[in-house]
Structure 1
Amino acid sequence: MGAGEPRAGRRDAPHRTKVEERSMRKPVRDGLLPRMEARPTQSGFTYRYHPVGAKPINLGSDRVAAIRKVLDLTGAGDDLGTISRLWNQFQETPGWKRYSPYTRADYTQCSLKLLEIFGDMRASDIDATDVARYLRKERADAPVRANREAALLSNLIGLAIERGEAKHNPCREVKRNEEQPRTEAPEPADFAAFAQWLAEQRGQRAMIGMAAEYAASAGNRKVEFLDLTWSQIDETAGHIRIKRAKQRGKKRGEVIEQIEITPQVAALIARLKIARAAQKNEDCLYVFPNRSGTAYTQAGFKAMWQKLMVEALKRKVIAHRFTFHDLRAYYVTQHKAERGALPDLHANPATTARVYDRSRIVKRKAL
């Protein structure tokens, strides 16, 4: 073979630099289990496991399958990549810690039904048909809630992908159930009758009624005012200061709503003070306390509200059922009718108009 001729067997081989050749020879360790080895090939990697005192075991070129085989060999892979295990791991991530307590509680509630169906399944074994069946059939009686549960499932499978326990997210391939936004707010007469009915019963029922009156007058979410303290009410300055919920990024916890104390709100505060004195608990910090003198939890308040709503319908106190969140729409609709403009509830005014403005009569001028 002449000096200028190419060496046999290397004619079609791609040219590599010395740095590339060294990287091809160097074992890859990122994301692998102890005693595993990733060996570079022309098309990717092939994996091996080195048992103590025995020959290496070939694991193939599929990284997820290779890790699972090693865990099976060592007796530690029974629940690798299962949704139940991913749910536990999800609660240890930095992202979980950044969620508000309300979001954590909501995800925890979503996990109950989700784990019943998918708990023992591996994320890598779930496909789009499984997700679609869950949304359309297994949770057909609660389509909106099913959407929230599918969002949690998507987060868990996303975590599995990051950990090398799955390759794709089937939740992104399935269309969510269609959600019909609510279009009606409580009628003023209905709400007034409901509030008066609760006020006449005193005790915790009256407290729930006053919380509803506050929501209808100030437009705050439950998560924003259930733990409202008396120190946040400044009657001298004439306002109530509350942190706005559902803020993202740098705005989280930084947007403060300063709510005007109108004559209607002032009268409500006076009644709340009378209730506080009647309970002989002047040291209670919370404006809307439960029987124990602490703030209501989301679940506790919701259960109490649903119980009262069912009873009010049965006794024909009100003609139509409404949710507590509908009181936010009630506030927006009445604010627009009385003051001629929508209140500032969102960074984007279009969101307030689209979601909460439920005016049935639109007034405009003729030429």
Structure 2
Amino acid sequence: MEARPLKNGGFSYRYHPLGGKPIPLGRDYANACRQVLDMIGQNDAMGTVKWVWDRFTDPDRPAPRWKKMADGTRDDYRLAWKELDKTFGKMQIARIDSPMVARYVNIERAAAPRRAAIEKSLLSNLCRHGITLGVCKTNPTIGVETPPTEPRTEAPDPGVLRRFLEWLEKQTPQRRIIGMGAEYASLAGNRKVEFLDLCWPQVDRPPAEIRREILAGRVKLSLGEIRVKRAKQRGKKRGEVIEVIEITPQLDALLDRLEALREERGVDCLYVFPTRDNNAYSARGFKTLWQRSVLLAIEEKVITEETRFTFHDLRAYYTTVHKREQGKLPDLHANPATTARVYDRNKEVKRRAL
């Protein structure tokens, strides 16, 4: 193995097989050593689940399936791996069978059925990649049922949501932005991943003078629209479905407050919901600040443990109110049945008799 110094510091590594061309190994020394041991057949860990995981997530040559995953899915899988590694990490992947998977999912992880389903999904992906690498022949997760998980059934109470958002508006600038992000999700129904990097050029609004005329009813024009890419699209539609959200008076007022906060900072920031240093929030950073805000709100008795809600519940709030006010479900998924099953939390369904 050869180490080649780089101009900007560090090394790149490559392996010289006898009588062959050099094989690049990347810049990570430990990973380069593992690759060499694999090639000469002296890696004792070869064929273990940990060995497959390292190749599935290899920073230089990741598995095609890992490469296509969204950052949020990758974070979920990294968290799932920490649990899988405890049970299966040192085990040869070819020795895992369906009864082992069934016991792990339904007995060992019975207390966390949702996490168990994600861990089973990761193990399935690792087995598929193991087949590609030639270290196992079958996928033992196929046919193994996971404990049923019921979607949440309660949407945030409007009064509780309003009180929480009003409290956030009086907090630090970054908590105010988190609160306005929550308000946006409740009004537009977008996922976090769809609006965390929302930029002002995606917000198309008439000038302030015309908007005032529209809101006063003297001009019959639209208040504008917001264009975002729909997340969780597969195949050819990946990144191609654009959601065009009509701006309502409530959403227009929220955008005015966001612009006012932007002017307070005195920086011409590109992002609608910026971090302290005027960049887009990462999913993890936004989630951390949201959870801290919720815990502080509970401590100050703004909300209670019984009335607290998840950020994703705001999407259900939007769906529930939309159906109640508009009489139909919003277009959130390619399959409307998914929207109805997961997000519609109305307890009363109205219809007209003949």
The TM-score, its normalising length taken from structure 2, stands at 0.79
1:334 aligns with 321
Q: Which has the higher contact order (CA 8 A, sep 6+)?
A: 2
**Which of 265, 286, 291 in structure 1 is aligned with 2:276?**
291
- Cα distance change of structure 1 residues 86 and 188 upon mapping to structure 2, 3 Å threshold: same
Distance 2:170 2:69 in 1: 39
Residues 89 and 151 (structure 1 numbering): CA distance in 2 closer, same or farther, change over 3 Å?
Answer: same
Quote the offset at 1:239 in angstroms: 0.4
The runs of 4+ residues in structure 1 deviating greater than 3 Å are none
1:261 aligns with 2:237: no
RMSD of equivalent CA atoms: 1.9
1:198 and 2:168 correspond: yes
Aligned partner (choices 147, 153, 161) of residue 183 of structure 1: 153
Q: For 1:298-339, what per-residue CA distance to the aligned partner results, in whole angstroms no more than 9, with x for missing partners?
A: 111111111222222232212411110000000001111111
Where does residue 149 of structure 1 map in the other structure? 119
After superposition, residues 309-324 of structure 1 pair within 5 angstroms as 309-319=294-304, 320-324=307-311
2:56 corresponds in structure 1 to 90
Give the match for residue 142 of structure 2.
Answer: 172
Q: What SS class does the counterpart of residue 354 from structure 1 fall into?
A: helix
Shift of 1:75: 5.4
Residue 178 of structure 2 aligns to a residue whose secondary structure is helix
Who is 1:223 aligned against?
Answer: 193
1:124 to 94, 117, 138: 94
How far does residue 95 in structure 1 lie from its aligned partner after superposition?
Answer: 2.3
Distance 2:275 2:131 in 1: 44
Query: Unmatched 5+ residue regions in structure 2?
Result: 1-16, 18-36, 207-222
User: Quick one: distance in 2 between partners of 1:117 and 1:229?
Assistant: 44
Question: How far apart are 1:138 and its partner, in Å?
Answer: 3.4
Which AA in structure 1 matches 2:346? S
Instruction: Indicate the structure (1 or 2) with the bigger Cα radius of gyration.
Output: 1
Deviation at 1:94, TM superposition (A): 2.1
Aligned 1:21-60 pairs, distance under 5 A? none
- 2:330 is matched by which residue type in structure 1? P
Distance in 2 separating the partners of 1:177 and 1:293: 43
- Per-residue CA deviations over 1:134-164 (Å, capped at 9, x if unaligned) read 2234333322012101101111012112332
Corresponding position of 1:344: 331
- Following superposition, the deviation at residue 343 of structure 1 comes to 0.8
- With over 3 angstroms needed to count, the CA separation of the structure-2 counterparts of 1:276 and 1:170, relative to structure 1, is same
Structure 1 residue matching 2:267: 3-state secondary structure: coil
Partners in 2 of 1:279 and 1:117 — Cα distance? 50
**Corresponding letter in the other structure for 1:251:** K
d(CA) in 1 for partners of 2:108 and 2:291?
A: 25
Determine the C-alpha separation between the residues in 1 that align with 2:285 and 2:184. Answer: 18
Q: Output the CA distance in 1 between the equivalents of 2:342 and 2:41.
A: 52
Partner of 1:63: none
